[in-house]
Amino acid sequence: EIIQFHLPPFFMQSFTFTYVAFLSTFPFRMRRRDPGSAPNLGDRVPYVIISAAKGVAAYMKSEDPIYVLENNLPIDTQYYLEQQLAKPLLRIFEPILGEGKAQNVLLKGEHTRCKTVLTAKVGGLMAFATKRSTCIGCRAVLNHHAGAVCKFCLAYQSELYQKEVTHLSCLEEKFSRLWTQCQRCQGSLHEDVLCTSRDCPIFYMRKKVQKDLDDQELLVSRFGPPTW
């Protein structure tokens, strides 16, 4: 039997904002970006660990989860695997699979070689990069204002359009469910959601789906207006 573990978009941690903490450099970065949303002294601040160059201290890799979502910053999955997942999983499966085999089955092998690489919108070389659209079918780089697909995938445009519209509908349904859940939580199904509780996992799920929905709507719009 094959057991698959599906990780959430990111793992959240929090700390109390004090001037003596190493992680306090992270709230100061938040204050420089947006003074209105910066934490005050004594506030609990959620954060995630993002990928960075080898040898960078953990407190320098801490970042605001919302900022990470909005800018597609890659999460340091190896850090969370080693620090939060590996030991609990080994304690569960070592009595079943054996001490050495459990580590080889869970933490090594073909399933560990698949890695999703995100393209960050900020930092690094992105300030000098020129964004170019790619074909939705084969991912070939397109000329400016070239539409959604290249000339080689033009024959499959209707199939690709239907696929993307279906995915858009799934995201709309998911966002509606999360939005309704937040409305029920605040006690009204007829008003906008005003909740900004960063301790609630649904808050981040809703933000993530909202961003994915905006990106998908932009992608579908590349096909142009429907014609009959």
pLDDT in tens, 22-79: 445 777 888 888 887 777 777 777 888 888 888 888 778 888 888 888 888 888 888 8
Same domain, 218 and 142: yes
The answer to whether position 192 is within a domain reads yes
Boundary residue ending a domain (75, 91, 106): 75
Does residue 86 fall inside a structural domain?
no
70 and 138 assigned to the same domain: no
**Inside any domain, residue 211:** yes
Same domain assignment for residues 67 and 150: no
Flag whether 115 is in a domain. Answer: no
CA dihedral 220, 224, 226, 227 (to 10 degrees): -150
- 122: in domain: no
List the structure tokens of 113.
């070689």
Q: Which residues of 178-193 are buried (b: 16+ CB within 10 A; e: fewer)?
A: bbeebbeeeeeeeeeb
pLDDT one-digit tens code per residue, 154-211: 999 999 999 999 999 999 999 999 999 999 998 888 888 888 787 788 888 999 999 9
Please tell me whether residue 50 adopts helix, strand or coil conformation.
strand
Q: Is residue 143 part of a domain?
A: yes
What is the three-class DSSP state of 151? coil
Range of the structural domain that residue 29 is part of: 9-75
Query: Residue 1 — very low, low, confident or very high, per pLDDT cuts 50/70/90?
Result: very low
For 131-147, the pLDDT digits (tens) are: 778 899 998 888 876 68
Integer-rounded Cα Rg, in Å, for the chain is 21
Domain final position from 28, 53, 75:
75
Q: Are 174 and 209 in contact (CB under 8 A)?
A: yes
Q: Are residues 70 and 137 in the same domain?
A: no
How far is residue 13 from each of residues 9, 42, 64, 74, 115, measured CA to CA in Å? 13, 16, 10, 16, 23
Is the residue at 3 inside a domain?
Answer: no
Q: What is the count of structural domains for the chain?
A: 2
Query: How far apart are the C-alpha atoms of 39 and 36, rounded to whole Å?
Result: 9
Q: Would you say residue 33 lies in a domain?
A: yes
pLDDT at 11 over 90: no
Q: Is the CB of residue 18 less than 8 Å from the CB of residue 24?
A: yes
Q: Write the pLDDT tens digit of every residue in 106-140.
A: 877 776 767 666 666 666 555 556 777 889 999 88
Residues 148 and 216 in one domain: yes
CATH code for the domain in which residue 38 is found: 1.10.132.60
The predicted model gives 1-19 an average pLDDT of 45
Orientation of helix 86-97 relative to helix 99-107, angle to 10°: 130
